[in-house]
Structure 1
Amino acid sequence: MILFIKLLLAHLLGDFIWQPTSWVIHKEANKHKSIYLYLHVLLHGFLSIILVGEISFIPYGLLIAATHGIVDLIKLNFQKNKTKRTWFVIDQILHLVIITTVVLFYQNNNLSFFRFENQFWILMTGIILMTKPTSIFIKTIISIWSPESQNSHQDNSLANAGNYIGILERLFVVCFILTGHFEAIGFLLAAKSIFRFGDLKEAKDRKLTEYVMIGTLISFGIAILTGLIMQFLLLQLL
């Protein structure tokens, strides 16, 4: 299980945290001719090998890098503007299947050169997941309902404020679950509802209100599920 968590963390770092938007745009425009596709593949292999921290894992890390590149190349060649959301989901599922397969076949020889306590990997992976990866996932999933008037309402708000608010609220939810303060989650959701949905009501834009509500509920749902899984895994280590 810890091996899967380490590889998931490597995937989150490589696919979301350390992959600039400029890389994604360049890859979509140039496909197999993009230098960033190959840098992205090398980054995944490097992260997988370093985070697992076992010499015997090097061939498997290279396998993950190669298969990641193949999956990305398939997505780049077949996705269209209308199917980006579908291909995003397919892409992520295939990467997770590859990671799971590697975990099932890998034999640990205990030749480690980079090691932390298992609790560290669980906490770090959960925290990273609640930041940019979940933001991108939510934005991609609900983009089908994106209201046309959304941009007109952003003129009076701070740049990317909604994104950072979402990240902070998910981190708070995970923290509340791990510390056993479940009642604080309800307080946080109620507080956001009062301030956020009050503004949306004044804007008199029903589509925008529903759009924000869907995003908020998905965000809280993912945070609660992640927090519960982290809590379960941490308890197993006691």
Structure 2
Amino acid sequence: MPETFAALLFAHVIGDFILQPGWMAADKARRGPMGRMDRAALFALVFHIAVHGALLSVVLLPQAPGFAFALALVIGSHLVIDFLKGFAPAGSLLAFLTDQAAHLAALGAIAALMPGLWAGSFWAAAPWLPGVMALIAGAILTTRAGGLAIGLLMAPLAENAPAEGLPSGGKLIGLLERGMIFVLVLAGQPGGIGFLIAAKSILRFETLKDGGANPRSEYVIIGTLASFGWALVAGYLTALLAHLPTLGILPDPP
């Protein structure tokens, strides 16, 4: 089952966070009166679902026993979840988290229902591949998905954001810091995260030096804690999946 879940998760993460541009996410969520979708919204949703179907076909290949049923379950569940998300308020963090939780629950249920799906695929001849897929999926969820989630969390506070020194500098810093935390967690060196916090505190001293009453300092603290917290949770969940004996890409911790 872990191998099948890792393959399904990999295809999902690539489809949602790498091959889904911003315009597609915005268009497929747009609704008219009575929840109706215009042609652009319908096209974006159908195209997005087709991308997921193509990715699953590459990851598992149609020769796997039960592939057609699994493909129907993945496409059907994704279509329903994304359609329902379109009724949520735009830019809602709760909607984003609920949407992704629903997708992960659906993939977990499919993997539990068809645990041998991966074993029947062409790629099963490479026993190390599901572990690599799990690590790549975890890295994307930590960095890219984390950036989207933190952005939604901080959007209402944006008026108190510090002035950017470089275009999109804050986003790049967040991406790098979550990536570093992910690597430290998987390397079994979480203590190094303390040095990362100290280094960022020193670099942000000019923003934070006026004390907690400064809205800009609170903005930085909230964003930093949220970014670190997301990276820690995603990193440890990835490590848990990758430590499973059937994947075995990471050694068991001492």
TM-score by length of 2: 0.79
Match of 1:143 in 2: 155
| Residue 214 (1) aligns with residue 222 (2) | yes
Match of 1:3 in 2: 4
Structure with a larger share of its residues in helix? 1
- The farther-off stretch of 163-172 and 225-234 is 225-234
The answer to whether the 8 A contact 1:5-1:122 is kept is yes
**Runs of 4+ with >6 A deviation:** 202-205
- CA shift for structure 1 position 202: 6.4
| Residue 79 (1) aligns with residue 80 (2) | no
- CA shift for structure 1 position 135: 0.6
- CA shift for structure 1 position 20: 0.4
- Of all paired residues, the percent bearing the same amino acid is 31
- The farther-off stretch of 205-214 and 40-49 is 205-214
Match of 1:196 in 2: 204
- Aligned residue among 130, 141, 149 for 2:142: 130
CA distance in structure 2 between the partners assigned to 1:232 and 1:107 by the alignment = 18
* Cα displacement string for residues 156-208 of structure 1 (whole angstroms, at most 9, x for unaligned residues): x2121111111111111122223333332111110011112433446998223
CA distance in structure 1 between the partners assigned to 2:38 and 2:5 by the alignment = 29
- Aligned residue among 164, 177, 187 for 1:169: 177
- The farther-off stretch of 216-225 and 200-209 is 200-209
Question: What code does the residue aligned with 1:28 have?
Answer: A
- What is the RMSD computed on CA atoms of the aligned residues? 2.6
Match of 2:99 in 1: 91
Q: For residue 92 of structure 2, give the secondary structure of its aligned residue in structure 1.
A: helix
- CA shift for structure 1 position 222: 2.2
TM-score by length of 1: 0.84
Structure 2: gaps spanning 5 or more residues:
32-36
Task: Decide whether aligned partners of structure 1 residues 190 and 113 sit closer, same or farther in structure 2, where only a CA change above 3 A counts.
Answer: same
The answer to whether the 8 A contact 1:2-1:121 is kept is no
Match of 2:73 in 1: 63
Match of 2:192 in 1: 184
Q: For residue 131 of structure 1, give the secondary structure of its aligned residue in structure 2.
A: helix
The answer to whether the 8 A contact 1:64-1:99 is kept is yes
Task: Decide whether aligned partners of structure 1 residues 68 and 229 sit closer, same or farther in structure 2, where only a CA change above 3 A counts.
Answer: closer
Across the two proteins, how many residue pairs are aligned to each other? 232
* Cα displacement string for residues 9-48 of structure 1 (whole angstroms, at most 9, x for unaligned residues): 2222111221101112222346353211101011112223
